[in-house]
Amino acid sequence: MRRILVTSALPYANGSVHLGHLLEHIQTDIWVRFQRMRGHECIYVCADDTHGTATMLLAEQEGVGEEALIDRLHAEHLADFERFGISYNNYYSTHSDENQYFSNLIYTRLRDRGFVYTKDVEQLYDPERKMFLADRNVRGDCPRCGASNQPGDNCDSCGATYDARELKNPVSAISNATPILRNSDHYFVDLPKFTDFLREYIHNGSQQPEVANKLTEWIDGGLRGWDISRDAPYFGFPIPDADDKYFYVWMDAPIGYLASFKNWCTKNDVDFDEFWRADSTCEVHHFIGKDIINFHCLFWPSVLHHSDFRTPTKVHVHGMLTMNGEQMSKSRGTFVLASTYLDYFDPDYLRYYLAARLAPNSADLDLGSEDFVSRVNSDLVGKLVNIASRSEGFLAKHFDNTLASELAEPELWQEFVDEEERIAAWYEEGDTRRVVRRVMELADKCNQYLANKAPWQLIKDENRRDEVQGICSMGINLYRILIAYLKPIVPSLTQRSEEFLNAGDLTWENATQPLLSHRLNKFGRLLNRIELKTFNAMIEAGAQNTAVEDDSTSESESPHIEIDDFLNRASRGG
Protein backbone atom coordinates (compact mmCIF):
# COMPACT_ATOMS: atom_id res chain seq x y z
CA MET A 1 0.00 0.00 0.00
CA ARG A 2 1.31 3.40 -0.98
CA ARG A 3 1.14 6.29 1.53
CA ILE A 4 0.39 9.48 -0.38
CA LEU A 5 -0.16 13.11 0.64
CA VAL A 6 -1.83 15.28 -2.00
CA THR A 7 -2.43 19.03 -2.16
CA SER A 8 -4.06 21.57 -4.45
CA ALA A 9 -2.89 25.18 -4.66
CA LEU A 10 -4.47 27.30 -1.95
CA PRO A 11 -7.39 29.55 -3.00
CA TYR A 12 -6.81 33.14 -1.95
CA ALA A 13 -9.12 34.44 0.79
CA ASN A 14 -10.30 37.64 -0.88
CA GLY A 15 -13.05 36.25 -3.09
CA SER A 16 -15.35 33.37 -3.92
CA VAL A 17 -14.52 30.05 -5.55
CA HIS A 18 -14.91 30.16 -9.35
CA LEU A 19 -14.61 27.67 -12.20
CA GLY A 20 -10.89 28.36 -12.57
CA HIS A 21 -10.33 27.06 -9.03
CA LEU A 22 -12.55 24.08 -9.70
CA LEU A 23 -10.47 22.90 -12.65
CA GLU A 24 -7.55 22.21 -10.35
CA HIS A 25 -9.46 20.90 -7.35
CA ILE A 26 -11.55 18.57 -9.51
CA GLN A 27 -8.41 17.28 -11.25
CA THR A 28 -6.78 16.66 -7.87
CA ASP A 29 -9.87 15.04 -6.40
CA ILE A 30 -10.19 12.62 -9.34
CA TRP A 31 -6.60 11.47 -8.81
CA VAL A 32 -7.15 11.16 -5.05
CA ARG A 33 -10.38 9.18 -5.43
CA PHE A 34 -8.67 6.83 -7.87
CA GLN A 35 -5.82 6.14 -5.43
CA ARG A 36 -8.30 5.41 -2.66
CA MET A 37 -10.25 3.05 -4.94
CA ARG A 38 -7.00 1.16 -5.52
CA GLY A 39 -6.66 0.66 -1.77
CA HIS A 40 -3.86 3.16 -1.10
CA GLU A 41 -3.71 5.55 1.84
CA CYS A 42 -4.24 8.92 0.15
CA ILE A 43 -4.61 12.03 2.30
CA TYR A 44 -5.81 15.20 0.59
CA VAL A 45 -5.26 18.54 2.33
CA CYS A 46 -5.71 22.15 1.33
CA ALA A 47 -6.31 25.53 2.95
CA ASP A 48 -7.30 29.10 2.33
CA ASP A 49 -4.36 31.40 1.54
CA THR A 50 -5.24 34.24 3.89
CA HIS A 51 -2.39 36.70 4.27
CA GLY A 52 -1.42 39.81 2.38
CA THR A 53 -2.36 43.40 1.66
CA ALA A 54 -5.39 42.41 -0.44
CA THR A 55 -7.01 40.68 2.53
CA MET A 56 -6.23 43.64 4.77
CA LEU A 57 -7.77 46.13 2.34
CA LEU A 58 -10.86 44.02 1.64
CA ALA A 59 -11.54 43.64 5.38
CA GLU A 60 -11.21 47.39 5.76
CA GLN A 61 -13.59 47.95 2.85
CA GLU A 62 -16.18 45.63 4.44
CA GLY A 63 -15.71 47.17 7.86
CA VAL A 64 -14.66 43.93 9.56
CA GLY A 65 -11.47 42.49 11.00
CA GLU A 66 -9.23 40.32 8.83
CA GLU A 67 -9.96 37.22 10.90
CA ALA A 68 -13.71 37.71 10.61
CA LEU A 69 -13.36 38.11 6.83
CA ILE A 70 -11.24 35.00 6.32
CA ASP A 71 -13.51 32.94 8.60
CA ARG A 72 -16.54 33.90 6.51
CA LEU A 73 -14.82 33.14 3.22
CA HIS A 74 -13.39 29.88 4.58
CA ALA A 75 -16.89 28.61 5.33
CA GLU A 76 -18.09 29.72 1.89
CA HIS A 77 -15.14 28.11 0.08
CA LEU A 78 -15.48 24.82 1.91
CA ALA A 79 -19.23 24.64 1.23
CA ASP A 80 -18.68 25.24 -2.49
CA PHE A 81 -15.94 22.63 -2.77
CA GLU A 82 -17.95 20.05 -0.84
CA ARG A 83 -20.92 20.52 -3.18
CA PHE A 84 -18.62 19.62 -6.06
CA GLY A 85 -17.57 16.44 -4.26
CA ILE A 86 -14.02 17.56 -3.44
CA SER A 87 -13.00 14.98 -0.84
CA TYR A 88 -10.49 16.80 1.37
CA ASN A 89 -9.31 15.12 4.53
CA ASN A 90 -8.59 18.60 5.85
CA TYR A 91 -9.38 22.08 4.52
CA TYR A 92 -7.58 24.53 6.77
CA SER A 93 -6.20 28.08 6.84
CA THR A 94 -2.73 29.57 6.51
CA HIS A 95 -3.64 31.89 9.41
CA SER A 96 -2.97 29.17 11.97
CA ASP A 97 -0.64 28.36 14.83
CA GLU A 98 0.77 25.43 12.85
CA ASN A 99 1.61 27.63 9.89
CA GLN A 100 3.30 30.26 12.03
CA TYR A 101 5.35 27.53 13.71
CA PHE A 102 6.58 26.03 10.44
CA SER A 103 7.14 29.44 8.81
CA ASN A 104 9.36 30.48 11.71
CA LEU A 105 11.15 27.13 11.78
CA ILE A 106 11.94 27.11 8.07
CA TYR A 107 12.97 30.76 8.06
CA THR A 108 15.31 30.45 11.05
CA ARG A 109 16.94 27.32 9.63
CA LEU A 110 17.57 29.10 6.33
CA ARG A 111 18.77 32.24 8.09
CA ASP A 112 21.13 30.40 10.44
CA ARG A 113 22.62 28.48 7.49
CA GLY A 114 23.44 31.64 5.56
CA PHE A 115 20.65 31.47 2.98
CA VAL A 116 18.95 34.76 3.98
CA TYR A 117 20.28 38.28 3.49
CA THR A 118 18.91 41.83 3.69
CA LYS A 119 19.00 44.51 1.02
CA ASP A 120 17.82 48.11 0.81
CA VAL A 121 14.86 48.33 -1.61
CA GLU A 122 13.41 51.49 -3.10
CA GLN A 123 9.62 51.40 -3.57
CA LEU A 124 6.65 53.66 -4.12
CA TYR A 125 5.08 54.74 -0.83
CA ASP A 126 1.61 56.10 -0.12
CA PRO A 127 2.11 59.09 2.21
CA GLU A 128 -1.57 59.21 3.20
CA ARG A 129 -1.99 55.53 4.04
CA LYS A 130 1.61 55.31 5.27
CA MET A 131 2.28 52.06 3.43
CA PHE A 132 4.42 50.75 0.61
CA LEU A 133 2.52 50.02 -2.58
CA ALA A 134 2.58 46.75 -4.48
CA ASP A 135 2.59 47.09 -8.27
CA ARG A 136 -1.13 46.37 -8.59
CA ASN A 137 -1.92 49.23 -6.19
CA VAL A 138 -0.36 51.87 -8.44
CA ARG A 139 -1.87 53.37 -11.59
CA GLY A 140 -0.35 55.85 -14.00
CA ASP A 141 0.68 56.64 -17.57
CA CYS A 142 2.59 53.94 -19.43
CA PRO A 143 6.27 54.91 -19.74
CA ARG A 144 6.38 53.36 -23.22
CA CYS A 145 3.20 54.42 -25.07
CA GLY A 146 1.76 57.02 -22.72
CA ALA A 147 -1.60 55.26 -22.21
CA SER A 148 -3.30 56.54 -19.06
CA ASN A 149 -4.57 54.64 -16.00
CA GLN A 150 -2.28 51.63 -16.46
CA PRO A 151 -1.27 49.19 -13.68
CA GLY A 152 2.16 49.26 -12.09
CA ASP A 153 3.71 46.29 -13.86
CA ASN A 154 2.44 46.05 -17.46
CA CYS A 155 0.49 48.14 -19.93
CA ASP A 156 -2.92 46.87 -21.04
CA SER A 157 -2.64 49.04 -24.15
CA CYS A 158 0.77 48.24 -25.65
CA GLY A 159 1.74 45.16 -23.60
CA ALA A 160 4.98 46.64 -22.26
CA THR A 161 6.31 45.47 -18.89
CA TYR A 162 8.08 47.86 -16.55
CA ASP A 163 8.90 48.77 -12.99
CA ALA A 164 6.15 50.66 -11.14
CA ARG A 165 8.68 53.40 -10.45
CA GLU A 166 8.80 54.10 -14.19
CA LEU A 167 5.10 55.07 -14.40
CA LYS A 168 4.40 58.69 -15.36
CA ASN A 169 2.02 60.58 -13.07
CA PRO A 170 1.63 57.66 -10.65
CA VAL A 171 -1.35 57.55 -8.30
CA SER A 172 -2.05 55.24 -5.37
CA ALA A 173 -5.03 53.04 -6.21
CA ILE A 174 -5.76 52.87 -2.49
CA SER A 175 -5.96 56.57 -1.55
CA ASN A 176 -5.48 58.47 -4.85
CA ALA A 177 -2.47 60.14 -3.26
CA THR A 178 0.67 60.78 -5.27
CA PRO A 179 3.20 58.17 -4.13
CA ILE A 180 6.73 59.04 -3.18
CA LEU A 181 9.92 56.97 -3.27
CA ARG A 182 11.08 55.51 0.00
CA ASN A 183 13.69 52.91 0.96
CA SER A 184 13.31 49.95 3.28
CA ASP A 185 15.36 46.90 4.25
CA HIS A 186 13.94 43.68 2.82
CA TYR A 187 14.76 40.06 3.59
CA PHE A 188 15.75 37.78 0.71
CA VAL A 189 16.27 34.06 0.32
CA ASP A 190 19.50 33.61 -1.63
CA LEU A 191 18.02 31.57 -4.49
CA PRO A 192 21.23 31.57 -6.62
CA LYS A 193 22.91 29.42 -3.93
CA PHE A 194 20.43 26.67 -4.78
CA THR A 195 21.22 26.56 -8.50
CA ASP A 196 23.14 23.28 -8.47
CA PHE A 197 20.49 21.62 -6.32
CA LEU A 198 17.72 22.80 -8.63
CA ARG A 199 19.47 21.59 -11.78
CA GLU A 200 19.48 18.08 -10.33
CA TYR A 201 16.04 18.24 -8.70
CA ILE A 202 14.02 19.31 -11.72
CA HIS A 203 15.24 16.29 -13.72
CA ASN A 204 14.55 13.64 -11.06
CA GLY A 205 11.07 12.82 -12.39
CA SER A 206 9.23 15.30 -10.20
CA GLN A 207 8.37 17.56 -13.15
CA GLN A 208 6.51 17.10 -16.40
CA PRO A 209 8.95 17.23 -19.35
CA GLU A 210 7.78 20.60 -20.68
CA VAL A 211 7.93 22.08 -17.18
CA ALA A 212 11.45 20.75 -16.59
CA ASN A 213 12.54 22.30 -19.89
CA LYS A 214 11.09 25.67 -18.92
CA LEU A 215 12.68 25.55 -15.49
CA THR A 216 16.06 24.75 -17.05
CA GLU A 217 15.69 27.75 -19.34
CA TRP A 218 14.94 29.98 -16.35
CA ILE A 219 17.87 28.65 -14.33
CA ASP A 220 20.20 29.16 -17.29
CA GLY A 221 19.04 32.77 -17.37
CA GLY A 222 20.34 33.27 -13.83
CA LEU A 223 18.40 33.25 -10.57
CA ARG A 224 18.13 36.18 -8.19
CA GLY A 225 17.31 36.53 -4.52
CA TRP A 226 13.64 36.07 -3.63
CA ASP A 227 12.08 38.80 -1.47
CA ILE A 228 10.21 37.15 1.42
CA SER A 229 9.37 40.26 3.47
CA ARG A 230 6.78 43.05 3.54
CA ASP A 231 6.58 46.17 5.65
CA ALA A 232 3.83 47.04 8.11
CA PRO A 233 0.92 47.53 7.83
CA TYR A 234 0.45 43.98 6.56
CA PHE A 235 -1.82 41.06 7.48
CA GLY A 236 0.52 38.16 8.09
CA PHE A 237 3.12 36.63 10.40
CA PRO A 238 5.91 38.85 11.78
CA ILE A 239 9.42 37.77 10.83
CA PRO A 240 11.35 36.62 13.93
CA ASP A 241 13.85 39.17 15.24
CA ALA A 242 12.87 41.76 12.62
CA ASP A 243 11.34 45.16 13.28
CA ASP A 244 7.88 45.62 11.68
CA LYS A 245 8.61 43.08 8.95
CA TYR A 246 6.19 40.36 7.88
CA PHE A 247 6.52 37.22 5.80
CA TYR A 248 5.38 37.86 2.25
CA VAL A 249 2.32 35.77 1.49
CA TRP A 250 4.27 33.59 -0.97
CA MET A 251 6.59 32.58 1.86
CA ASP A 252 3.97 31.19 4.21
CA ALA A 253 1.37 30.09 1.61
CA PRO A 254 3.09 26.85 0.46
CA ILE A 255 4.08 26.18 4.05
CA GLY A 256 0.33 25.96 4.53
CA TYR A 257 0.53 22.47 3.01
CA LEU A 258 2.64 21.35 5.97
CA ALA A 259 0.40 23.20 8.43
CA SER A 260 -2.84 21.72 7.13
CA PHE A 261 -1.35 18.23 7.17
CA LYS A 262 0.05 18.76 10.69
CA ASN A 263 -3.40 19.84 11.87
CA TRP A 264 -4.88 16.65 10.38
CA CYS A 265 -2.11 14.51 11.88
CA THR A 266 -2.78 15.91 15.35
CA LYS A 267 -6.49 15.12 15.07
CA ASN A 268 -5.88 11.63 13.69
CA ASP A 269 -2.79 10.55 15.67
CA VAL A 270 -0.57 10.27 12.57
CA ASP A 271 3.19 10.86 12.57
CA PHE A 272 3.80 14.05 10.56
CA ASP A 273 7.51 13.31 10.16
CA GLU A 274 6.86 10.02 8.36
CA PHE A 275 5.68 12.07 5.40
CA TRP A 276 7.90 15.17 5.63
CA ARG A 277 11.31 14.13 6.90
CA ALA A 278 14.07 14.32 4.31
CA ASP A 279 14.39 10.54 3.88
CA SER A 280 10.65 9.78 3.84
CA THR A 281 9.46 6.89 1.67
CA CYS A 282 5.93 8.29 1.54
CA GLU A 283 4.81 10.36 -1.45
CA VAL A 284 3.89 14.05 -1.69
CA HIS A 285 2.06 15.28 -4.80
CA HIS A 286 1.20 18.92 -5.57
CA PHE A 287 -1.39 19.92 -8.19
CA ILE A 288 -0.94 23.48 -9.48
CA GLY A 289 -1.57 25.77 -12.44
CA LYS A 290 1.23 26.63 -14.84
CA ASP A 291 1.16 30.28 -13.72
CA ILE A 292 2.77 29.41 -10.37
CA ILE A 293 5.44 26.88 -11.35
CA ASN A 294 8.15 29.39 -10.40
CA PHE A 295 7.08 29.31 -6.75
CA HIS A 296 6.39 25.57 -6.57
CA CYS A 297 9.23 24.21 -8.69
CA LEU A 298 12.08 26.62 -7.92
CA PHE A 299 11.51 28.41 -4.63
CA TRP A 300 9.50 25.78 -2.73
CA PRO A 301 11.76 22.70 -3.24
CA SER A 302 14.82 24.83 -2.48
CA VAL A 303 13.32 26.05 0.78
CA LEU A 304 12.24 22.54 1.79
CA HIS A 305 15.53 20.83 0.98
CA HIS A 306 17.70 23.39 2.73
CA SER A 307 15.58 23.36 5.90
CA ASP A 308 15.67 19.55 6.31
CA PHE A 309 12.28 18.66 4.80
CA ARG A 310 11.65 16.31 1.89
CA THR A 311 10.89 17.67 -1.58
CA PRO A 312 7.71 16.84 -3.54
CA THR A 313 7.52 13.47 -5.29
CA LYS A 314 5.76 15.10 -8.21
CA VAL A 315 4.29 18.45 -9.19
CA HIS A 316 1.31 17.98 -11.52
CA VAL A 317 0.91 21.11 -13.64
CA HIS A 318 -2.25 21.96 -15.58
CA GLY A 319 -3.13 24.78 -17.96
CA MET A 320 -5.60 27.60 -17.57
CA LEU A 321 -9.36 27.37 -18.07
CA THR A 322 -10.93 29.53 -20.78
CA MET A 323 -14.61 30.01 -21.58
CA ASN A 324 -15.73 29.77 -25.20
CA GLY A 325 -12.18 30.54 -26.31
CA GLU A 326 -11.72 33.60 -24.09
CA GLN A 327 -9.89 34.15 -20.83
CA MET A 328 -12.22 33.98 -17.85
CA SER A 329 -13.01 37.57 -16.98
CA LYS A 330 -15.85 39.61 -15.52
CA SER A 331 -15.38 42.29 -18.14
CA ARG A 332 -15.80 39.69 -20.92
CA GLY A 333 -18.80 38.14 -19.20
CA THR A 334 -17.07 34.79 -18.78
CA PHE A 335 -16.48 34.78 -15.02
CA VAL A 336 -18.62 32.11 -13.32
CA LEU A 337 -18.67 31.36 -9.61
CA ALA A 338 -18.98 27.83 -8.28
CA SER A 339 -22.24 28.80 -6.57
CA THR A 340 -23.61 30.24 -9.82
CA TYR A 341 -22.83 27.04 -11.72
CA LEU A 342 -24.60 24.99 -9.06
CA ASP A 343 -27.77 27.02 -9.54
CA TYR A 344 -28.00 25.53 -13.04
CA PHE A 345 -26.18 22.21 -13.32
CA ASP A 346 -25.24 18.98 -11.57
CA PRO A 347 -21.60 19.15 -10.34
CA ASP A 348 -20.80 15.84 -12.07
CA TYR A 349 -21.40 17.46 -15.46
CA LEU A 350 -18.46 19.82 -14.93
CA ARG A 351 -16.32 17.09 -13.38
CA TYR A 352 -16.94 14.87 -16.40
CA TYR A 353 -16.38 17.61 -18.95
CA LEU A 354 -13.08 18.69 -17.42
CA ALA A 355 -11.93 15.08 -17.08
CA ALA A 356 -12.68 14.56 -20.77
CA ARG A 357 -10.25 17.41 -21.58
CA LEU A 358 -7.47 16.84 -19.04
CA ALA A 359 -4.18 15.27 -20.11
CA PRO A 360 -0.82 15.03 -18.27
CA ASN A 361 0.43 18.35 -19.64
CA SER A 362 0.02 22.08 -19.07
CA ALA A 363 -2.09 22.85 -22.16
CA ASP A 364 -5.00 25.24 -21.59
CA LEU A 365 -8.55 23.87 -21.50
CA ASP A 366 -11.60 25.53 -23.00
CA LEU A 367 -15.08 25.22 -21.55
CA GLY A 368 -17.16 25.56 -24.70
CA SER A 369 -20.90 25.99 -24.20
CA GLU A 370 -22.07 23.85 -27.13
CA ASP A 371 -19.41 21.19 -26.49
CA PHE A 372 -20.35 21.04 -22.81
CA VAL A 373 -24.03 20.48 -23.56
CA SER A 374 -23.24 17.96 -26.29
CA ARG A 375 -20.87 15.88 -24.16
CA VAL A 376 -23.27 15.71 -21.23
CA ASN A 377 -26.26 14.75 -23.37
CA SER A 378 -24.43 12.43 -25.75
CA ASP A 379 -21.96 10.72 -23.40
CA LEU A 380 -23.40 10.66 -19.91
CA VAL A 381 -27.11 10.53 -20.72
CA GLY A 382 -27.29 9.11 -24.25
CA LYS A 383 -24.56 6.48 -23.93
CA LEU A 384 -23.83 5.62 -20.31
CA VAL A 385 -27.06 6.05 -18.36
CA ASN A 386 -29.02 4.79 -21.34
CA ILE A 387 -27.50 1.34 -20.78
CA ALA A 388 -28.93 1.11 -17.26
CA SER A 389 -32.33 2.58 -18.08
CA ARG A 390 -33.03 0.42 -21.16
CA SER A 391 -31.85 -2.78 -19.40
CA GLU A 392 -33.57 -2.19 -16.06
CA GLY A 393 -36.99 -1.62 -17.57
CA PHE A 394 -37.33 -5.21 -18.77
CA LEU A 395 -35.88 -6.65 -15.57
CA ALA A 396 -38.30 -4.67 -13.39
CA LYS A 397 -41.37 -5.50 -15.47
CA HIS A 398 -40.75 -9.16 -16.20
CA PHE A 399 -38.13 -10.55 -13.78
CA ASP A 400 -38.78 -8.93 -10.39
CA ASN A 401 -35.68 -6.75 -10.86
CA THR A 402 -33.48 -9.84 -10.55
CA LEU A 403 -30.39 -10.56 -12.63
CA ALA A 404 -29.72 -13.84 -14.42
CA SER A 405 -27.73 -16.60 -12.71
CA GLU A 406 -24.95 -16.57 -15.34
CA LEU A 407 -23.40 -14.22 -17.87
CA ALA A 408 -24.97 -14.40 -21.31
CA GLU A 409 -21.78 -13.21 -23.05
CA PRO A 410 -18.67 -14.09 -20.97
CA GLU A 411 -16.33 -13.00 -23.77
CA LEU A 412 -17.86 -9.53 -23.91
CA TRP A 413 -17.67 -9.24 -20.13
CA GLN A 414 -14.00 -10.23 -20.16
CA GLU A 415 -13.24 -7.62 -22.82
CA PHE A 416 -14.51 -4.93 -20.44
CA VAL A 417 -12.62 -6.42 -17.49
CA ASP A 418 -9.39 -6.56 -19.48
CA GLU A 419 -9.39 -2.75 -19.76
CA GLU A 420 -8.86 -2.42 -16.00
CA GLU A 421 -5.09 -2.00 -15.87
CA ARG A 422 -4.88 0.22 -18.93
CA ILE A 423 -7.50 2.57 -17.47
CA ALA A 424 -5.73 2.49 -14.11
CA ALA A 425 -2.44 3.48 -15.76
CA TRP A 426 -4.12 6.46 -17.42
CA TYR A 427 -5.56 7.60 -14.10
CA GLU A 428 -2.13 7.32 -12.50
CA GLU A 429 -0.64 9.49 -15.25
CA GLY A 430 -3.43 12.05 -14.93
CA ASP A 431 -4.62 11.27 -18.44
CA THR A 432 -8.36 11.27 -17.75
CA ARG A 433 -8.99 12.31 -21.35
CA ARG A 434 -8.03 8.79 -22.42
CA VAL A 435 -10.04 7.24 -19.59
CA VAL A 436 -13.20 9.00 -20.73
CA ARG A 437 -12.60 8.23 -24.39
CA ARG A 438 -12.13 4.51 -23.74
CA VAL A 439 -15.09 4.22 -21.39
CA MET A 440 -17.33 5.85 -23.98
CA GLU A 441 -16.03 3.46 -26.64
CA LEU A 442 -17.01 0.59 -24.36
CA ALA A 443 -20.40 2.19 -23.72
CA ASP A 444 -20.95 2.34 -27.48
CA LYS A 445 -20.09 -1.36 -27.69
CA CYS A 446 -22.57 -2.20 -24.94
CA ASN A 447 -25.34 -0.17 -26.55
CA GLN A 448 -24.65 -1.87 -29.85
CA TYR A 449 -24.87 -5.25 -28.12
CA LEU A 450 -28.31 -4.36 -26.73
CA ALA A 451 -29.44 -3.02 -30.09
CA ASN A 452 -28.33 -6.19 -31.89
CA LYS A 453 -30.04 -8.46 -29.35
CA ALA A 454 -33.25 -6.35 -29.43
CA PRO A 455 -34.82 -7.53 -26.15
CA TRP A 456 -37.92 -5.47 -26.95
CA GLN A 457 -38.56 -7.92 -29.78
CA LEU A 458 -37.57 -11.10 -27.93
CA ILE A 459 -39.85 -10.38 -24.96
CA LYS A 460 -42.84 -10.90 -27.27
CA ASP A 461 -41.83 -14.57 -27.65
CA GLU A 462 -42.81 -16.50 -24.52
CA ASN A 463 -40.16 -19.12 -25.25
CA ARG A 464 -37.30 -16.59 -25.31
CA ARG A 465 -38.03 -14.64 -22.12
CA ASP A 466 -34.99 -16.14 -20.38
CA GLU A 467 -32.80 -14.74 -23.15
CA VAL A 468 -34.13 -11.28 -22.39
CA GLN A 469 -33.18 -11.63 -18.72
CA GLY A 470 -29.66 -12.67 -19.73
CA ILE A 471 -29.26 -9.82 -22.24
CA CYS A 472 -30.48 -7.15 -19.83
CA SER A 473 -28.41 -8.62 -16.99
CA MET A 474 -25.37 -8.25 -19.24
CA GLY A 475 -26.34 -4.64 -19.82
CA ILE A 476 -26.54 -3.98 -16.08
CA ASN A 477 -23.24 -5.72 -15.35
CA LEU A 478 -21.46 -3.85 -18.14
CA TYR A 479 -22.95 -0.58 -16.88
CA ARG A 480 -21.65 -1.43 -13.42
CA ILE A 481 -18.07 -1.89 -14.55
CA LEU A 482 -18.22 1.28 -16.67
CA ILE A 483 -19.54 3.36 -13.78
CA ALA A 484 -16.79 1.89 -11.60
CA TYR A 485 -14.18 3.02 -14.13
CA LEU A 486 -15.73 6.53 -13.96
CA LYS A 487 -16.29 6.58 -10.18
CA PRO A 488 -13.39 8.98 -9.44
CA ILE A 489 -14.81 11.39 -12.03
CA VAL A 490 -18.58 11.30 -11.32
CA PRO A 491 -19.03 10.47 -7.61
CA SER A 492 -22.65 11.66 -7.35
CA LEU A 493 -23.78 9.64 -10.36
CA THR A 494 -21.85 6.67 -8.97
CA GLN A 495 -23.55 6.97 -5.59
CA ARG A 496 -27.01 6.97 -7.20
CA SER A 497 -25.94 4.01 -9.33
CA GLU A 498 -24.65 2.11 -6.29
CA GLU A 499 -28.01 2.59 -4.58
CA PHE A 500 -29.79 1.19 -7.64
CA LEU A 501 -27.34 -1.72 -8.06
CA ASN A 502 -27.81 -2.67 -4.39
CA ALA A 503 -24.34 -4.24 -4.04
CA GLY A 504 -22.50 -1.80 -1.77
CA ASP A 505 -19.68 0.57 -2.65
CA LEU A 506 -17.88 -0.07 -5.91
CA THR A 507 -14.15 -0.67 -5.60
CA TRP A 508 -11.52 -1.29 -8.25
CA GLU A 509 -11.45 -4.94 -7.19
CA ASN A 510 -15.12 -5.85 -6.78
CA ALA A 511 -16.26 -4.09 -9.97
CA THR A 512 -14.71 -6.88 -12.04
CA GLN A 513 -16.82 -9.51 -10.27
CA PRO A 514 -20.23 -9.83 -12.00
CA LEU A 515 -23.54 -9.65 -10.14
CA LEU A 516 -25.46 -12.91 -10.63
CA SER A 517 -28.90 -13.90 -9.29
CA HIS A 518 -28.90 -10.50 -7.65
CA ARG A 519 -31.91 -8.29 -6.96
CA LEU A 520 -31.67 -4.63 -7.90
CA ASN A 521 -33.33 -1.74 -6.13
CA LYS A 522 -36.01 0.33 -7.78
CA PHE A 523 -34.55 2.40 -10.60
CA GLY A 524 -34.62 6.18 -10.25
CA ARG A 525 -33.64 8.85 -12.73
CA LEU A 526 -29.85 9.09 -12.71
CA LEU A 527 -29.24 12.17 -14.88
CA ASN A 528 -31.20 14.73 -16.88
CA ARG A 529 -30.50 16.12 -20.31
CA ILE A 530 -29.49 19.77 -20.44
CA GLU A 531 -30.07 22.64 -22.88
CA LEU A 532 -27.82 25.30 -24.36
CA LYS A 533 -30.16 28.04 -23.16
CA THR A 534 -29.48 26.95 -19.58
CA PHE A 535 -25.74 27.27 -20.11
CA ASN A 536 -26.22 30.73 -21.58
CA ALA A 537 -28.37 31.73 -18.61
CA MET A 538 -25.54 30.64 -16.31
CA ILE A 539 -23.08 32.79 -18.24
CA GLU A 540 -25.40 35.79 -17.99
CA ALA A 541 -25.78 35.26 -14.25
CA GLY A 542 -22.01 35.03 -13.89
CA ALA A 543 -21.52 38.25 -15.81
CA GLN A 544 -23.91 40.08 -13.49
CA ASN A 545 -22.17 38.88 -10.36
CA THR A 546 -19.91 41.56 -8.88
CA ALA A 547 -19.09 39.94 -5.55
CA VAL A 548 -15.70 38.56 -6.60
CA GLU A 549 -12.44 40.47 -6.96
CA ASP A 550 -10.61 40.03 -10.29
CA ASP A 551 -7.62 37.70 -10.14
CA SER A 552 -5.37 40.72 -10.60
CA THR A 553 -6.16 41.83 -7.03
CA SER A 554 -4.76 38.67 -5.53
CA GLU A 555 -1.19 38.46 -4.37
CA SER A 556 -1.40 34.70 -4.37
CA GLU A 557 -3.09 34.02 -7.70
CA SER A 558 -0.71 35.76 -10.03
CA PRO A 559 -1.48 36.16 -13.73
CA HIS A 560 0.80 34.42 -16.22
CA ILE A 561 4.35 35.73 -15.73
CA GLU A 562 7.57 34.98 -17.49
CA ILE A 563 10.90 34.46 -15.76
CA ASP A 564 12.11 38.03 -16.30
CA ASP A 565 9.04 39.38 -14.56
CA PHE A 566 9.41 36.76 -11.84
CA LEU A 567 13.03 37.64 -11.22
CA ASN A 568 12.41 41.37 -11.35
CA ARG A 569 9.59 41.15 -8.83
CA ALA A 570 11.67 38.94 -6.59
CA SER A 571 14.62 41.31 -6.60
CA ARG A 572 12.70 44.53 -6.04
CA GLY A 573 10.08 43.24 -3.60
CA GLY A 574 7.12 43.98 -5.87
pLDDT at 333 over 80: no
CB neighbours of residue 400 within 10 Å = 9
Task: Write down the pTM of the prediction.
Answer: 0.93
Percent of the chain that is helix, strand, coil (3-state, to 5): 50, 15, 35
pLDDT tens digit string along 166-200?
999 999 999 999 999 999 999 999 999 999 999 99
Amino acid at 96: S
Length in residues, the chain? 574
Q: Around 303, how many Cα atoms within 13 Å sit in the side-chain half-sphere?
A: 27
Q: How many whole angstroms separate alpha carbon 23 and alpha carbon 363?
A: 13
pLDDT band at 269 (very low <50, low <70, confident <90, very high): very high
**DSSP-assigned beta bridge partners for residue 120:** 185
Res. 552: pLDDT tops 60 = no
User: For residues 388 and 381, what is the distance between their CA atoms, to the nearest angstrom?
Assistant: 10
Q: Give the C-alpha separation, 427 to 439, whole Å.
A: 12
Tell the burial category of 463 from Cβ atoms under 10 Å away from its Cβ (0-12, 13-18, 19+). exposed
Assess whether pLDDT exceeds 50 at residue 511: yes
Mean pLDDT of the chain: 93
Q: Is 271 exposed, middle or buried, given 0-12, 13-18 or 19+ CB atoms closer than 10 A?
A: exposed
CA distance 88 to 6: 9
Task: Give the pLDDT score at 136.
Answer: 87
Q: Work out whether the CA dihedral 541, 547, 552, 558 comes out positive or negative.
A: negative
Closest by CA position to 497, among listed 401, 370, 385: 385
Helices (H), 118-194: none
Looking at the predicted structure, is the pLDDT value of residue 560 above 70? no
Q: What mean pLDDT is predicted for residues 80-90?
A: 98
From the number of C-beta atoms within 10 Å of its C-beta (0-12, 13-18, 19+), residue 494 rates as: buried
Cα–Cα distance, 42 to 64 (Å, whole number)? 38
pLDDT per position as a tens digit, 401-431 = 999 999 999 999 999 999 999 999 999 999 9
What domains, with CATH codes, occur in the chain?
3-112+191-345+548-559 (3.40.50.620), 117-189 (2.170.220.10), 380-512 (1.10.730.10)
Count of C-beta atoms within a 10 Å radius of residue 415: 13
Tell me how far apart the alpha carbons of residues 135 and 396 are, in angstroms, rounded to a whole number: 66
Rounded CA separation 318/329 (Å): 19
* β-bridge pairing 41-48 and 90-93: parallel
Is the N-terminal amide bond of 233 cis, ω within 30° of 0?
Answer: yes
pLDDT at 569: 42
At 544, is the pLDDT very low, low, confident or very high (cuts 50, 70, 90)?
A: confident
pLDDT band at 571 (very low <50, low <70, confident <90, very high): very low
pLDDT of residue 332: 64
pLDDT, tens digit (0-9, with 9 covering 90-100), for 291-331: 999 999 999 999 999 999 999 999 999 999 999 988 877 66
Distance CA 328, CA 332 (A): 7
Quick one: which H or E segment has residue 521? none
pLDDT of 350 higher than 60: yes
Helix H or strand E segment including 445: helix 432-453
Cis peptide before 360 (omega within 30 of 0): no
d(CA 542, CA 19): 11
Closest CA to 182 of 545, 505, 573: 573
Distance CA 1, CA 3 (A): 7
Q: What percent of the chain has pLDDT over 90?
A: 89
